[in-house]
């Protein structure tokens, strides 16, 4: 037989596009349309409905960037359409691609009842089925003129303050139309079979069965009477659509999904409306499709619907009660997981799970993070401690260097905790149930022969929209179809139960899940990152001192204020806000929010400390860090033993200055560079021979694709060392060395100080940054041989190699740390601590002359200057504090990291303040002291082993307590937890390496 595949396939494409799809709505009449443009920000629904609109014609431009327009459409169903299905087709000027990234709308009835959302792939609103004819139709559309930012390059459209007023869209269609369901089903039949046919082997019999059936169906269609012959054409396809899948077919659990970025190329306020539109769409689809199940994560987004769209919320609650609209993930937002601190990461689950428990009585057992940019090694323990046991993501499929070897596996964290993890092999969180997607999932699935289940998040996302009726119709045809994976709608929990049952001996991956992409998100938008770090530590202080004041003085504990502030900080850890990959508007608002949060927390801290210290003239230092310092206990207040003055600089013979406090001798040369940092007790030089530490280095930074997200390895090919000096002298305080350097259009000021009695060189850096497409690094070349180094992460630290033996190691050329990076030879190490930076790189070289020793260089990433999506990223003044600590063991790194981020607070008062709790083990770090969230007045203490070894700490409570329990993160007693040993006010527990534990002490 002659091979005519291409002939039939080309025929199918053209007939579908030019004849059959247009026949889905064969008749239409125009609607009368009027519009009212809201001034400024969006208005309440009642105001938009009551506004008096003016007539507007199809073809008219509308919509200033970020503006809101209320369209009113009215019309009459023709009498001749009686008995037929009628829909309103409402095209606001959509580009058919990129749903969620452009204009959108939410349709209301005149009484304010929401109907459904509009986006490019969902433009219809059902008027009646069947209609009687003669019905009056009146609908209102709250239309958002969100500009298309994606693909625009550097653009002012990312902030309403710079976007201008030019109309963005052209009103394209406002019609009533007949909906021919038979033709619509024919379209789906042909699409599914045509897509499946294209994925089958060319020499397979099944492919030719489909080809001939499609050919017969096309022959049966009268192209001049598609509507009259569609049923006849469908009959030709019933046989091939009824053929069942083979028993070994891959099995796909489809779950309706609309990953909605809580902010990205739109501001937070727009996400509130995106969620409402999507929820309205999905609740409507649930009513129409009895098997469809939809999941929505991010408790914050649920809370927005509850607060801002009560009518939609009522529909959501009804669908949740039926088990069809499913809360997922148990987190406040789908956060970044690399940069949030220990407590913040824990609170993501606390606030997320508690919301779903309180609103619906539902407890999530899965973490749902499809789009997060890599996963810190401390996360498995946090997920378990929150009462969950599964994780879903697909983002690691974006890695550019190495292909991850598993799709279903156990992920083991730094403490040994394992959670069952699934990466959907469909490699997207916006599956549309297309044949190519499902075929890719089946081919790509790496567990073949041992497992056969995978999950497919199905629906338009990023900007929202969700699942469409076409996707549901495709899934119905693929439920049991020869040549295709089988598809069934089910919840994430149902999928994970099946996956766990069929693959109990799944392989294990140990350590972080590093995304080999988007590495620059650890640095972009430095002010946002500083705001996050500062907020986390202010929250620790506020909880600590407020709890201490409540127990010691009876002061009221600010439950509501802390709850609200925590949720605000958690929201801003969303994976496009904290990583710095949102538009200018988002980061402008974030800066203002962090400033407001800081003010509120400072007020709470000051109030609690006043209550604790009393009225008096004694000098007191409040120490919120988990370590005693200078006679001031951890989590207490006392008069310090010393003044803490810094060492006075002395002239250096060869130019520059020397700082020497008897423990550390630092030489700063005539260029203002640290050329020596000698640990005097160990008689050990820190700075590599011929090198300079605290060196600012500038690189060209123009990645191949994602400006704010990526830094590509070739940035290292060229570097400029900033060694020119404009000013060098003793600082105004007389106890520091100050260096000023101008470079490009920017200016950097560094201040070096050496505190008395401390083996710690403090580097304060201020940069007035006005570069473009550059990255600024702070380098510390160390005379130290280390094949691995430690970076702090949640509740511990993770080790990474300094070498590049394999492609896996080479790909980690930019990585994340929290408060410290630590390198060590046996018996001697160095740590670099910071107060607000995350990105860094570590490299090593062997010197070819002299001692032929190893130079290991730590470089902190300070600033970038990408132009998309915020063309003014990082422009302006920034301040950083780092410290170089020679002779540091890991214990020193942990302690110094806390000190850098929780500086002491000096005040006056009447008496010392005893800590609520003390611990006798240096390796155990208390991360939170607070009152229980339920308002009982119980004291909650969270802590972990921080050095990577076993510990048996004893805690001493500084107050009377009548009961004791080990709890989960939500402060619920754990039945299977090891029982602490109590002797009076002393509590002894056992901890494995990096184990976190929460104790709840009941107050009488």
Q: What is the pLDDT of residues 874-924, one digit of tens each?
A: 999 999 999 999 999 999 999 999 999 999 999 999 999 999 999 999 999
CB 339 within 8 A of CB 522: yes
CA distance 915 to 299: 35
Residue 152: predicted pLDDT? 77
The one catalytic residue among 175, 180, 371, 462: 371
Q: Model confidence over 705-761: pLDDT tens digits?
A: 999 999 999 999 999 999 999 999 999 999 999 999 999 999 999 999 999 999 999
Q: Would you tell me the crossing angle of helices 181-199 and 469-477 to the nearest 10 degrees?
A: 60
CA distance 202 to 357: 52
CA atoms within 13 A on the CB side of 208: 8
Q: In what order do the strands lie in the sheet with 939-945?
A: 924-931, 939-945, 996-1002, 963-967
The residue-averaged pLDDT of 803-830 equals: 97
Quote the longest CA-to-CA distance of the chain.
103
**Close Cβ partners of 538 (under 8 Å, ≥ 6 residues apart):** 597, 598, 601, 602, 605
Radius of gyration from C-alpha coordinates of the chain:
31
* Environment class of 198 (CB within 10 Å of its CB; exposed 0-12, middle 13-18, buried 19+): middle
CA distance 776 to 682: 33
The answer, yes or no, to whether residue 121 has pLDDT greater than 70, is yes
Residue 978: predicted pLDDT? 84
Q: Model confidence over 367-386: pLDDT tens digits?
A: 999 999 999 999 999 999 99
CA distance 142 to 105: 5
Q: Model confidence over 137-162: pLDDT tens digits?
A: 999 999 999 999 998 789 999 999 99
| Predicted structure pTM score | 0.97
Report how far apart, in Å, the C-alpha atoms of 557 and of each of 35, 259, 386 are.
Answer: 50, 37, 24
From 196-200, 846-850, 874-878, the region with the lowest mean pLDDT? 846-850
ω into 130 cis (within 30 of 0): yes
Mean pLDDT across the chain:
97
Our CA dihedral for 397, 400, 404, 408, rounded to 10 degrees, sits at: 0
The answer, yes or no, to whether residue 300 has pLDDT greater than 80, is yes
Residue 463, sorted as left (phi over 0), alpha (psi -120 to 50) or beta, turns out to be alpha
CA distance 728 to 459: 60
The residue-averaged pLDDT of 238-261 equals: 97
Residue 516: predicted pLDDT? 98
The answer, yes or no, to whether residue 835 has pLDDT greater than 90, is yes
Q: Give the residue carrying structure tokens 């390059």.
A: 153
CA distance 954 to 986: 6
CA distance 951 to 95: 60
Choose among 914, 852, 544, 472: nearest CA to 688: 852
From 54-58, 285-289, 341-345, 848-852, the region with the lowest mean pLDDT? 848-852
Choose among 189, 359, 336: nearest CA to 263: 336
- Secondary structure (3-state) at 952: coil
CA distance 632 to 962: 28
- Count of Cβ atoms closer than 10 Å to residue 157 Cβ: 22
Q: Model confidence over 80-119: pLDDT tens digits?
A: 999 999 999 999 999 988 899 999 999 999 999 999 999 9
Choose among 222, 189, 197: nearest CA to 8: 197
How do beta strands 486-489 and 136-144 pair?
unpaired
227 alpha carbon, distance to own chain's centre: 48
Beta partners for 824? 829
Residue 969: predicted pLDDT? 98
Residue 151: predicted pLDDT? 83
Q: What are phi and psi of 78, to 5 degrees?
A: -55, 140
Q: Give the residue carrying structure tokens 């002779």.
A: 887
Q: Give the residue carrying structure tokens 């109990």.
A: 504
The answer, yes or no, to whether residue 38 has pLDDT greater than 80, is yes
- pLDDT-derived band at 821 (thresholds 50, 70, 90) equals very high
Count helices and strands in the chain by DSSP H and E runs: 19, 53
CA distance 14 to 21: 10
The residue-averaged pLDDT of 359-374 equals: 97
**Close Cβ partners of 836 (under 8 Å, ≥ 6 residues apart):** 526, 529, 530, 533, 534, 880, 881
CA distance 908 to 636: 14
CA distance 860 to 837: 7
Helices (H), 256-309: 268-288, 299-308
Let me know if 938 is a catalytic residue: no
CA distance 907 to 170: 63
N-terminal to C-terminal alpha carbon distance within the chain? 90
Q: Give the residue carrying structure tokens 């009056």.
A: 136
Report how far apart, in Å, the C-alpha atoms of 594 and of each of 295, 339, 544, 570, 638 are.
Answer: 31, 16, 20, 12, 30
* Environment class of 668 (CB within 10 Å of its CB; exposed 0-12, middle 13-18, buried 19+): buried
**Close Cβ partners of 962 (under 8 Å, ≥ 6 residues apart):** 1002, 1003, 1004
- The pair of structure tokens assigned to 390 is 């599964």
The answer, yes or no, to whether residue 1 has pLDDT greater than 90, is no
Q: Residues for the chain: how many in total?
A: 1004
pLDDT above 70: percentage of residues in the chain: 100
Residue 539: predicted pLDDT? 98
Q: Model confidence over 924-962: pLDDT tens digits?
A: 999 999 999 999 999 999 999 999 999 999 999 999 999
**Close Cβ partners of 441 (under 8 Å, ≥ 6 residues apart):** 250, 252, 424, 425, 426, 427, 454, 456, 485
CA distance 774 to 766: 17
CB 275 within 8 A of CB 260: yes
- Count of Cβ atoms closer than 10 Å to residue 224 Cβ: 8
Q: Model confidence over 564-607: pLDDT tens digits?
A: 999 999 999 999 999 999 999 999 999 999 999 999 999 999 99
CA distance 170 to 164: 17
CB 635 within 8 A of CB 548: yes
């Amino acid at each position: 037989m002659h091979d005519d595949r291409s002939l039939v396939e080309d025929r199918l494409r053209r007939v579908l596009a030019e004849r059959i799809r247009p026949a889905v709505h064969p008749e239409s009449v125009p609607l009368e349309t009027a519009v009212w443009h809201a001034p400024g920000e969006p208005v309440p629904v009642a105001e938009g409905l009551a506004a008096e609109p003016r007539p507007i014609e199809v073809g008219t431009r509308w919509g200033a960037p970020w503006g809101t327009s209320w369209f009113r459409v009215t019309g009459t169903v023709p009498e001749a359409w009686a008995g037929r299905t009628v829909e309103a087709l409402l095209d606001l000027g959509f580009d058919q691609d990129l749903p969620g990234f452009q204009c959108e709308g939410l349709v209301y009835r005149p009484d304010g009842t929401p109907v459904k959302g509009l986006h490019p792939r969902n433009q219809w609103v059902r008027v009646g089925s069947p209609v009687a004819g003669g019905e009056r139709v009146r609908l209102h559309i709250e239309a958002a003129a969100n500009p298309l930012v994606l693909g625009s390059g550097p653009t002012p459209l990312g902030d309403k303050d710079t976007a201008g007023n030019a109309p963005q869209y052209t009103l394209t269609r406002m019609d009533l139309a007949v909906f021919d369901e038979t033709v619509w089903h024919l379209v789906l039949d042909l699409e599914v079979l045509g897509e499946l046919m294209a994925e089958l082997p060319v020499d397979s019999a099944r492919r030719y069965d489909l080809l001939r059936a499609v050919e017969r169906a096309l022959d049966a269609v009268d192209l001049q009477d598609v509507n009259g012959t569609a049923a006849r054409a469908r009959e030709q396809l019933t046989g091939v659509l009824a053929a069942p899948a083979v028993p070994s077919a891959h099995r796909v659990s489809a779950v309706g999904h609309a990953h909605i970025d809580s902010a990205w190329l739109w501001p937070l306020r727009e996400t509130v409306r995106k969620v409402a539109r999507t929820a309205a769409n999905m609740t409507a689809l649930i009513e129409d499709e009895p098997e469809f199940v939809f999941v929505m994560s991010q408790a914050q987004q649920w809370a927005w619907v509850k607060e801002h769209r009560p009518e939609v919320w009522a529909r959501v609650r009804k669908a949740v009660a039926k088990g069809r609209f499913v809360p997922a993930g148990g987190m406040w937002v789908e956060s970044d997981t690399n940069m949030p601190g220990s407590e913040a990461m824990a609170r993501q689950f606390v606030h997320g799970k508690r919301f779903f428990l309180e609103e619906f009585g539902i407890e999530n057992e899965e973490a749902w993070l499809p789009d997060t940019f890599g996963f810190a090694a401390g996360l498995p323990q946090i997920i378990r401690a929150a009462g969950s046991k599964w994780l879903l993501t697909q983002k690691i499929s974006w890695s550019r260097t190495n292909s991850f070897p598993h799709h279903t596996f156990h992920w083991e964290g730094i403490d040994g905790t394992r959670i069952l993890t699934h990466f959907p092999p469909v490699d997207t969180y916006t599956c549309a149930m297309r044949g190519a997607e499902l075929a890719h999932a089946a081919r790509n699935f790496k567990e073949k022969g041992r497992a056969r289940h995978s999950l497919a998040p199905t629906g338009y996302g990023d900007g929202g929209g969700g699942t469409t009726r076409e996707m549901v119709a495709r899934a119905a045809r693929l439920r049991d179809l020869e040549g295709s994976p089988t598809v069934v709608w089910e919840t994430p929990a149902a999928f994970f139960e099946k996956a766990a049952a069929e693959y109990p001996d799944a392989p294990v991956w140990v350590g972080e899940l590093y995304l080999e992409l988007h590495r620059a998100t650890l640095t972009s938008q430095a002010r946002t990152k500083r705001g996050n770090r500062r907020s986390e530590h202010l929250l620790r202080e506020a909880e600590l001192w407020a709890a201490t004041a409540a127990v010691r003085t009876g002061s009221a504990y600010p439950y509501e204020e802390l709850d609200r502030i925590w949720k605000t900080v958690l929201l801003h850890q969303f994976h496009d806000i904290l990583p710095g990959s949102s538009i200018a508007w988002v980061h402008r608002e974030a800066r203002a929010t962090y400033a407001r949060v800081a003010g509120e927390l400072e007020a709470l801290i000051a109030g609690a400390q006043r209550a604790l210290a009393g009225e008096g003239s004694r000098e007191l230092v409040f120490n919120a860090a988990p370590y005693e310092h200078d006679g001031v206990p951890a989590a207490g207040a006392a008069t310090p033993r010393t003044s803490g003055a810094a060492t006075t600089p002395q002239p250096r013979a060869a130019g520059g200055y020397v700082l020497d406090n008897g423990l550390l001798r630092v030489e700063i040369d005539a260029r203002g560079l640290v050329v020596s940092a000698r640990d005097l007790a160990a008689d050990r030089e820190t700075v590599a021979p011929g090198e300079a530490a605290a060196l600012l280095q500038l690189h060209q930074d123009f990645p191949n694709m994602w400006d704010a997200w990526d830094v590509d390895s070739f940035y290292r090919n060229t570097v400029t060392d900033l060694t020119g000096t404009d000013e060098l002298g003793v600082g105004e305080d007389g106890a520091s060395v100050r260096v000023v350097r101008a470079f490009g259009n920017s200016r950097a000021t560094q201040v070096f100080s050496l505190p008395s009695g401390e083996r710690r060189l403090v580097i304060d850096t201020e940069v007035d940054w006005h570069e473009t497409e550059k990255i600024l690094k702070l380098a510390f070349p160390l005379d130290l041989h280390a094949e691995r180094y430690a970076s702090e992460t949640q509740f511990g630290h993770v080790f990474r190699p300094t070498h590049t033996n394999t492609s896996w190691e080479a790909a980690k050329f930019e990585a994340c740390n929290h408060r410290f990076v630590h390198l060590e030879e046996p018996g001697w190490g160095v740590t670099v601590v910071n107060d607000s930076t995350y990105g860094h790189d570590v490299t090593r070289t062997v010197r070819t002359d002299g001692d032929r020793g190893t130079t290991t260089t730590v470089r902190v990433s300070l600033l970038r200057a990408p132009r998309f999506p915020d063309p003014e990223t990082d422009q302006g003044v920034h301040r950083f504090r780092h410290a170089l600590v020679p002779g540091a063991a890991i214990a020193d790194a942990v302690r110094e990291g806390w000190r850098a981020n929780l500086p002491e607070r000096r005040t006056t008062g009447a008496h010392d303040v005893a800590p609520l709790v003390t611990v006798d083990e240096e390796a155990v770090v208390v991360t939170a002291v607070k009152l229980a969230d339920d308002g009982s007045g119980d004291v909650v203490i969270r802590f972990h082993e921080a050095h990577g070894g076993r510990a048996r700490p004893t805690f001493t409570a500084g107050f009377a307590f009548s009961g004791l329990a080990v709890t989960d993160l939500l402060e619920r007693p754990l039945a299977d937890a090891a029982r602490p040993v109590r002797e009076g006010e002393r509590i002894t527990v056992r901890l494995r390496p990096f184990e976190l534990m929460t104790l709840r002490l009941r107050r009488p």
